[in-house]
């Protein structure tokens, strides 16, 4: 693990003020100097990644390694990681034509399967043909799911370290640490029960507390492994040791309603019990049959739980849609309903904004309520084919809706946070001042606990306790408020970053 930050810093320091300043002042010039732009934006402290799926953040190379280490197999036709067949009697060995091969096969010399598997488990070298980018992207998750649930500590370490090397040191990563055990609650549900009756039955079953305990233990183990493997607290501490990580409980919008309800019971209870679990988010393709068909019922379920758990944060994937992918009616209200009915505090994607009923009114509402949008430029490009002027980013910015840039699934898309900033400059025409605001937004609109460092949202005035950031009052304040602490750290890092090229 090399220290990319210091390498970029050295390169960056060699740049002239004029070159760096003109790159930001005139983004059009930036397009011709990708090398400088990449170095500068990699070195720029970028705050947090608020939309990051843990399993989608891992590079396929690591999934193949996990599979080989575990003695698992690959289906060389379906190009998926799979369990090996049970041991055969000596006389009945596998036929040589079997497509199931040991995963370690891919590491042998001259194996073409290695590259084929990397392509299948990610967007590497993807060219749309019979399979769309949307389908290939979402299909990858099933191809590595046999190992993505059993290597959470290694995955978390990769995710946190990789982001830290590009100066992103706050992370909210989406995953379900109960690994599906919320489904156990379905056995106490009876047909025809109301939301309230279902929840009461589940809560009184005695099944919830052990799920919460085991989920918290999964996070404990992952964090301990990460600290150990990044050598935190030693002279050889790696990037990531100073990062702050929060977890977003992953709900599945493509499953039957009662199962989603059971997941909500676990998710809201887990977030109430463990401050590291900072909120919830429904995942899976928004355009799938169940996601579309059950959308209104799902919103009603969120409204029900919001009344019971008003302090638990919610971000929802909403508007990750384009015309033609769903019926026109499906484009009209997902963002609005997520905000108004489900009480989502942040929206993931929000790509179909211009097709929402009264989009201008929706923008006003989001701006006045401070509902942020997690903009994932690479993801929107490779899944939905939306980029450049077709992306609604500029409408959100013009309306004063808080925006952050996020990676979504950097392992699957084989991209990183720096490239989101690259795209923001080169494709969206954003200047440095706007990028800085987006970086600050990524902490201000995070679900990190505690009060903000800021007393306003244009970041011109700090909280009274931190008018003098070196004062003992401020030190006490940031020690008691995680959000203020990570925001002050970003300010200090931005100051150093900007001083480096002045
Ligand atoms: Zn996502």
- Give me the chain's average pLDDT, please: 92
Distance 230 CA to ligand 1 centre (A): 27
Mean pLDDT in residue range 118-131: 93
Distance 408 CA to ligand 1 centre (A): 5
Residue 107 to residues 72, 111, 151, 262, Cα–Cα distance (Å)? 13, 7, 20, 41
Distance 339 CA to ligand 1 centre (A): 17
Distance 281 CA to ligand 1 centre (A): 9
Distance 311 CA to ligand 1 centre (A): 22
Given this model, what pLDDT does residue 1 score?
42
Please return the burial class of 434, using the count of CB atoms within 10 Å of its CB with bins 0-12, 13-18 and 19+. Answer: middle
pLDDT level of residue 17 (50, 70, 90 thresholds): very low
Domains of the chain: 44-448 (3.20.20.140), 450-502 (no CATH)
In this predicted structure, the answer to whether residue 26 has a pLDDT above a threshold of 50 is no
In this predicted structure, the answer to whether residue 22 has a pLDDT above a threshold of 60 is no
| C-alpha span between 310 and 129 (Å, rounded) | 46
Mean pLDDT in residue range 373-398: 97
| C-alpha span between 13 and 43 (Å, rounded) | 10
Distance 153 CA to ligand 1 centre (A): 21
Distance 112 CA to ligand 1 centre (A): 31
Other CB atoms within a 10 A radius of the CB of residue 166 amount to: 23
Decide: helix, strand or coil at residue 178.
coil
| C-alpha span between 464 and 444 (Å, rounded) | 17
For the segment 285-315, what is each residue's pLDDT rounded down to a tens digit?
999 999 999 999 999 999 999 999 999 999 9
Mean pLDDT in residue range 364-379: 98
* Local structure of residue 381 (DSSP, 8 states): I
Specify the pairing of strand 48-53 against strand 170-175: parallel
For the segment 341-355, what is each residue's pLDDT rounded down to a tens digit?
999 999 999 999 999
In this predicted structure, the answer to whether residue 14 has a pLDDT above a threshold of 60 is no
- Both structure tokens of 491: 């300010």
Phi, psi of 53 (to 5 degrees): -85, 125
| C-alpha span between 502 and 500 (Å, rounded) | 6
Given this model, what pLDDT does residue 86 score?
87
Distance 28 CA to ligand 1 centre (A): 30
* Local structure of residue 452 (DSSP, 8 states): -
In this predicted structure, the answer to whether residue 7 has a pLDDT above a threshold of 50 is no
Distance 351 CA to ligand 1 centre (A): 12
Distance 67 CA to ligand 1 centre (A): 25
For the segment 140-186, what is each residue's pLDDT rounded down to a tens digit?
999 999 999 999 999 999 999 999 999 999 999 999 999 999 999 99
Distance 52 CA to ligand 1 centre (A): 7
Percent of the chain with pLDDT over 90: 88
| C-alpha span between 130 and 209 (Å, rounded) | 46
In this predicted structure, the answer to whether residue 330 has a pLDDT above a threshold of 90 is yes
Mean pLDDT in residue range 88-109: 80
For the segment 32-47, what is each residue's pLDDT rounded down to a tens digit?
688 889 999 999 999 9
Distance 50 CA to ligand 1 centre (A): 10
- Both structure tokens of 250: 């992953």
In this predicted structure, the answer to whether residue 107 has a pLDDT above a threshold of 80 is yes
Is 181 in contact with 149 (CB distance < 8 Å)? no
Three-point CA angle 344, 488, 49, nearest 5°: 40
Distance 426 CA to ligand 1 centre (A): 23
Given this model, what pLDDT does residue 90 score?
65
Distance 18 CA to ligand 1 centre (A): 38
Distance 320 CA to ligand 1 centre (A): 9
Residue 104 to residues 79, 176, 325, Cα–Cα distance (Å)? 14, 28, 39
Is 334 in contact with 321 (CB distance < 8 Å)? yes
Other CB atoms within a 10 A radius of the CB of residue 204 amount to: 10
Residue 404, H or E segment: strand 403-405
Mean pLDDT in residue range 351-377: 98
Specify the pairing of strand 80-82 against strand 73-75: antiparallel
Distance 260 CA to ligand 1 centre (A): 17
Distance 151 CA to ligand 1 centre (A): 20
Distance 444 CA to ligand 1 centre (A): 20
Distance 406 CA to ligand 1 centre (A): 9
Distance 357 CA to ligand 1 centre (A): 23
Is 444 in contact with 452 (CB distance < 8 Å)? yes
Distance 466 CA to ligand 1 centre (A): 35
Residue 170, H or E segment: strand 170-175
Mean pLDDT in residue range 243-247: 98
HEC assignment per residue over 214-282: HHHHHHHHHHHHHHHHCCCCCCCCCCCCCCEEEEEEEEECCCCHHHHHHHHHHHHHHHHHCCCEEEEEE
Report which of 66, 100, 97, 65 is spatially closest to residue 82, judged by C-alpha positions.
Answer: 100
Mean pLDDT in residue range 255-269: 98
């Amino acid at each position: 693990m090399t220290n990319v930050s210091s390498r970029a810093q050295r390169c960056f320091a060699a740049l002239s003020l004029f070159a760096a300043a003109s790159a930001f002042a005139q983004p059009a010039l930036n397009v011709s100097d990708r090398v400088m732009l990449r170095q500068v934006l990699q070195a720029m402290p970028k705050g947090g990644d608020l939309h990051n799926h843990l399993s989608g953040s891992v590079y396929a190379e690591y999934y193949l390694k996990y599979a080989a280490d575990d003695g698992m197999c690959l289906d060389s036709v379906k190009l998926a990681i799979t369990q090996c067949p049970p041991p055969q009697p000596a006389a009945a060995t596998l036929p040589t034509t079997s497509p199931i091969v040991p995963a370690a096969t891919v590491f042998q010399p001259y194996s073409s399967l290695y590259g084929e598997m990397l392509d299948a488990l990610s967007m590497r070298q993807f060219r749309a043909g019979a399979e769309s980018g949307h389908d290939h992207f979402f299909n990858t998750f099933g191809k590595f799911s046999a190992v993505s649930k059993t290597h959470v500590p290694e995955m978390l370490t990769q995710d946190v370290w990789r982001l830290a090397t590009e100066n992103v040191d706050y992370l909210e990563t989406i995953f379900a640490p109960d690994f599906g055990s919320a489904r156990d609650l379905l056995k106490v549900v009876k047909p025809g029960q109301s939301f309230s009756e279902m929840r009461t039955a589940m809560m009184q079953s005695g099944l919830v507390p052990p799920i919460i305990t085991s989920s918290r233990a999964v996070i404990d183990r992952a964090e301990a492994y990460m600290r150990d493997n990044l050598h935190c607290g030693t002279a050889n501490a790696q990037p990531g040791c100073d990062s702050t990580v929060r977890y977003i409980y992953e709900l599945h919008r493509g499953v039957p309603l009662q199962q989603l309800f059971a997941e909500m019971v676990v998710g809201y209870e887990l977030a109430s019990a463990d401050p590291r679990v900072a909120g919830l988010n429904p995942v899976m393709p928004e355009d799938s049959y169940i996601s579309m068909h059950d959308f209104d019922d799902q919103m009603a379920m969120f409204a029900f739980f919001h009344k019971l758990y008003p302090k638990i944060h919610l971000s929802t994937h909403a508007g990750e849609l384009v015309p033609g992918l769903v019926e026109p009616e499906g484009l009209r209200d997902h963002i609005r309903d997520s905000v108004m009915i489900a009480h989502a505090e942040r929206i993931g994607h929000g790509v179909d904004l211009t097709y929402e009923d009264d989009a201008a009114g929706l923008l006003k509402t989001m701006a006045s309520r401070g509902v942020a949008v997690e903009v994932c430029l690479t993801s929107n490009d490779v899944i939905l084919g939306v980029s450049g002027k077709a992306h609604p980013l500029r409408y959100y910015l013009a309306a004063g809706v808080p925006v952050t840039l996020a990676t979504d699934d950097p392992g699957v898309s084989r991209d990183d946070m720096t490239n989101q900033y690259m795209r923001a400059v080169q494709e969206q025409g954003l200047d440095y001042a706007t990028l800085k605001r987006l970086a600050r937004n990524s902490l201000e609109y995070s679900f990190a606990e505690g009060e903000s460092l800021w007393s306003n949202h244009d970041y011109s005035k700090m909280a009274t306790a931190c008018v003098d950031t070196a004062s003992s009052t401020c030190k006490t304040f940031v020690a008691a408020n995680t959000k203020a602490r990570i925001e002050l750290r970003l300010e200090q890092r931005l100051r150093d970053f900007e001083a480096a090229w002045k």
